[in-house]
DNA sequence: ATGCCTTTGTGAACGCGTGCACAAAGATGG
DNA sequence: CCATCTTTGTGCACGCGTTCACAAAGGCAT
């Protein structure tokens, strides 16, 4: 019990809206670029264009941090870089562990963008004994057995999960138990964590599916628009299309054509059942233990 | 002109809210897991728990797709899988190209989650001549020169960018010019695209920075809460902390201590200037061509 | 010193997303 | 066939986020 429920109650940080926090890194990046070009000041209009947002939004975002601009001039680049860095907590060093050093984990370990912003890869952890000791990106991979001590010894509070989906929840629990309070999850799974632990997920499949939705919509509108009468021959190169068979027209309760057992036969799934299940994604066959 | 401006006007798809679209893949994943376990039906409460959302939200989401549930029973798993798949456009096959086969690009190419949901890696493209012909994940890498023909020949409409930040905008423009209308960008850059092209970005640095913000907030609260009088010795292991020097107290216009040139000296950055600049992230020194 | 011109900071309006709470629908048992 | 019980579908209210628009602030030229 008490493990689940991502009960996001008014987690009102203090003043800074979540949406603003999510944009600060964007501003910081644009500002850093300006800083490297020795640009002394920048207006909200210019910076907003660089960050790809509305200038009023940017000004309001900055207003939450205080009044750092000069009317008639703009914002001092260096000063703003510092203020945002401080607000985001980047003025200190954050040791990070990556768990699951496979294709993705190794790529992450090799990623230079970590160190450039105050994040330091403190350890690489994998369950495969064959991986132990092998250097990846100049760091020796350590075995999962040492997870707890690594986290404790290095004061790690941020963990990255890049294991298969089936292992993610378990790894997550170990991380949290060891003291990690922020997790970046790459596995296609919904993680259950106690209150006070932040989880952010990066999910390639979801992003692609969202794109596919809009892509289909565009194609549909286009087709519906200029050819409600023409055949299915679209002007654009025809997309190779496998089409799923309709599994059955609206299942009308009492088993019609398709015959899903009379309801009670095939385990009517309990709440606990579902809660535990961390849906796989084609990654692993994943028959979760009850 | 007309290249920039991510002018997201009321892009009202038709009826389905964007927030709902973003959750559909989540539901689909949970439903697929249930389907594999041969669970015939599921209630909104159960499915919501599995997907980590509020049950009312889930029901409202489904209501946009139509009335697919049965009161007193729940939703037919197979039927719902089909309906959501159809809505997301996953009943057809989407050929995808990955541009930039480095650490990340190779990991993506090896990712099994692609094929499992109707996405097919049609080609891997890299600018490095040494990469050409080399097989990655069973597919021969092709040179950037062939980008246009590959996209055209395969009817590719979705492109994944995994190049360094400095090359992303250029690659993006070539993809769009060749017919790609959806882009998933892994490079830490704001991409400018014409109207009608969707861009989604996955940015590791941003995610980590957001986590760091909350992490800092937690640490701050904790410290302020139980030890406004006690020393800085927190119960948790002390975090190693490098602290950035304050670059200068509030720059009071007329150069105070720090001496940023008198404003006009170091190129007061024009709008066009900023718009073109695609801020680097520590990936590449990135001196963008003016 | 004074007025002009640029740009910030923010009040206010609006729209979207979320979650509560409940009436209606339909299955199920007698 | 009717009563009961479960669960959907949604009306409604609320809060967050976005955007407009403008007064105030401050630099700069004269
Ligand atoms: N490769 C990608 O581009 C990509 C993209 C999106 C999501 N993902 C997700 O990221 C995860 C990793 O993907 P991958 O391609 O690197 O897979 P992979 O199989 O190459 O690597 C997984 C690694 O995790 C290790 N591992 C397994 N169980 C573990 C445990 N309990 N503790 C510690 N380590 C454990 C394995 O030994 C292996 O080294 C998967 O969940 C995948 O769905 C990958
Ligand atoms: N590695 C990660 O975990 C990670 C994480 C987040 C973001 N990113 C971003 O993803 C991108 C790629 O990262 P990486 O670690 O794979 O880098 P990498 O240097 O290993 O790979 C980049 C690849 O892109 C190719 N390339 C360069 N210019 C090109 C062009 N114009 N057209 C086609 N291909 C081109 C290079 O030949 C190289 O193979 C970077 O922008 C990086 O910031 C990487």
Q: Is A127 in the pocket of ligand 1 (CB under 6 A)?
A: yes
pLDDT at residue A224 greater than cutoff 90: no
Q: CB-based burial of residue B132 (10 Å sphere; 0-12 exposed, 13-18 middle, 19+ buried)? A: middle
Chain A positions in Cβ-Cβ contact with residue B79 (cut-off 8 Å): 247-248, 250-251
Using the Cβ of A222 and the Cβ atoms of chain B, whether some distance falls under 8 Å is answered with: no
**A125: nearest Cα among A166, A94, A90, A167:** A167
CB atoms within 10 A of CB A133: 10
Chain A positions in Cβ-Cβ contact with residue B34 (cut-off 8 Å): 269, 274, 277, 279
3-state secondary structure at position B149: helix
Q: Which of A237-246, B207-216, B246-255, B267-276 has the lowest mean pLDDT?
A: B267-276
pLDDT in tens, B184-204: 999 999 999 999 999 999 999
Q: Which of A12-16, A89-93, A173-177, A262-266 has the lowest mean pLDDT?
A: A262-266
Using the Cβ of A8 and the Cβ atoms of chain B, whether some distance falls under 8 Å is answered with: no
User: Alpha helix locations (H) across B54-126?
Assistant: 55-65, 77-88, 103-110
Chain B nearest-CA residue for A49: B275
Please identify among residues 101-160 of chain A the ones whose CB lies closer than 8 Å to any CB of chain B: 103-104, 106-108, 110-119, 152-153, 155, 157-158
pLDDT at residue B23 greater than cutoff 80: yes
Q: Whose CA is nearest to atom 9 of ligand 2?
A: B187
Tell me if B215 and A251 make a contact (CB, 8 A cut-off). Answer: no
| Residue whose structure tokens are 């650490």 | B103
Q: Is A105 in the pocket of ligand 1 (CB under 6 A)?
A: yes
Distance CA A147, CA A261 (A): 45
Q: Whose CA is nearest to atom 30 of ligand 1?
A: A127
pTM, entire model: 0.84
Say what angle helices A55-65 and A44-51 make with each other, to 10 degrees: 110
Q: Is the CB of A40 under 7 A from strand D?
A: no
pLDDT in tens, A187-198: 999 999 999 999
CB-based contact A183:A120 (threshold 8 Å): no
**A3: nearest Cα among A156, A173, A161, A174:** A173
Percent of chain B with pLDDT over 70: 71
The pLDDT assigned to A97 comes to 98
Is B230 or A5 the better-scoring residue by pLDDT? B230
User: Could you tell me which CATH class the domain A93-222 is placed in?
Assistant: alpha beta
Q: Where are the domains of chain A?
A: 1-91, 93-222
3-state secondary structure at position B273: helix
Chain B nearest-CA residue for A27: B279
Tell me if A29 and B107 make a contact (CB, 8 A cut-off). Answer: no
User: Alpha helix locations (H) across chain B?
Assistant: 18-36, 44-51, 55-65, 77-88, 103-110, 147-154, 165-178, 204-226, 271-276
Say what angle helices B55-65 and B77-88 make with each other, to 10 degrees: 60
pLDDT in tens, A90-139: 999 999 999 999 999 999 999 988 887 789 999 999 999 999 999 999 99
Angular region, A223: left φ>0, alpha ψ -120 to 50, beta rest:
alpha
Residue A25 vs residues A261, B186, B205: alpha-carbon distances, Å = 52, 15, 8
Distance CA B5, CA B8 (A): 8
Using the Cβ of A13 and the Cβ atoms of chain B, whether some distance falls under 8 Å is answered with: yes
The span from the first CA to the last CA of chain B, in angstroms, equals: 16
Nucleotides of C under 7 A from a protein CB: 5-11, 15-21, 24-28
pLDDT at residue B283 greater than cutoff 60: no
- Is the four-CA dihedral B222, B226, B227, B232 of positive or negative sign? negative
Shortest Cα distance from A88 to chain B (angstroms)? 4
Distance (angstroms) between ligand 1 centre and the Cα of B29 equals 18
Domain spanning A1-91: CATH 2.40.160.40? no
> B8: which nucleotide lies closest, measuring CA to C1'?
D18
Distance (angstroms) between ligand 2 centre and the Cα of B163 equals 3
**Order of strands across the sheet that contains A139-143:** A135-136, A139-143, A119-126, A94-99, A158-161, A182-185, A198-201
- Ligand closest to the CA atom of residue B147: 2
The pLDDT assigned to B263 comes to 34
Residue B4 vs residues A219, B12, B169, B193, B197: alpha-carbon distances, Å = 23, 21, 11, 6, 11
The pLDDT assigned to A124 comes to 98
Q: Is the CB of A278 under 7 A from strand C?
A: no
Q: Is the CB of B218 under 7 A from strand C?
A: no
Tell me if B269 and A42 make a contact (CB, 8 A cut-off). Answer: yes
Q: Is B164 in the pocket of ligand 2 (CB under 6 A)?
A: yes
The pLDDT assigned to B261 comes to 34
């Amino acid at each position: 019990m008490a493990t689940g429920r991502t009960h996001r109650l008014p987690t009102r940080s203090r003043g800074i809206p979540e949406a603003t926090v999510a944009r600060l890194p964007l501003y910081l990046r644009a500002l850093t670029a300006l800083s490297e070009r020795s640009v002394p000041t920048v207006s909200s209009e210019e910076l907003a264009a660089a960050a790809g947002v509305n200038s009023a939004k940017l000004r309001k975002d900055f207003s939450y941090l205080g009044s750092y601009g000069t009317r008639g001039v703009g914002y001092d680049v260096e000063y703003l870089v510092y203020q945002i860095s401080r607000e985001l907590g980047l003025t200190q060093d954050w040791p990070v562990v990556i768990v699951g050093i496979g294709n993705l984990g190794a790529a992450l370990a090799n990623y230079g963008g970590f160190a450039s912003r105050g994040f330091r890869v403190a350890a690489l952890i994998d369950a495969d004994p064959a991986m132990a000791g092998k250097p990846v990106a100049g760091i020796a991979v350590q075995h999962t057995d040492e997870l707890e001590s690594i986290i404790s010894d290095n004061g790690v509070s941020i963990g990255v999960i890049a294991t298969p989906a089936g292992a993610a929840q378990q790894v997550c629990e170990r991380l949290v138990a060891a003291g990690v309070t922020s997790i970046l999850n790459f596995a296609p799974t919904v993680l259950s964590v106690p209150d006070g632990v932040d989880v952010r997920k990066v999910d390639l499949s979801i992003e692609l599916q969202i794109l596919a939705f809009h892509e289909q919509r565009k194609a549909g509108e286009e087709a519906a628009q200029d050819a409600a009468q023409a055949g299915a021959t679209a002007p654009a190169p025809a997309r190779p299309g496998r089409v799923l068979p309709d599994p059955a027209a609206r299942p009308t309760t009492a088993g019609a054509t398709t015959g899903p057992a009379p309801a009670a036969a095939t385990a009517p799934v309990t709440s606990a059942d579902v809660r535990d299940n961390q849906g796989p994604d084609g990654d692993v066959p994943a028959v979760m233990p009850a």
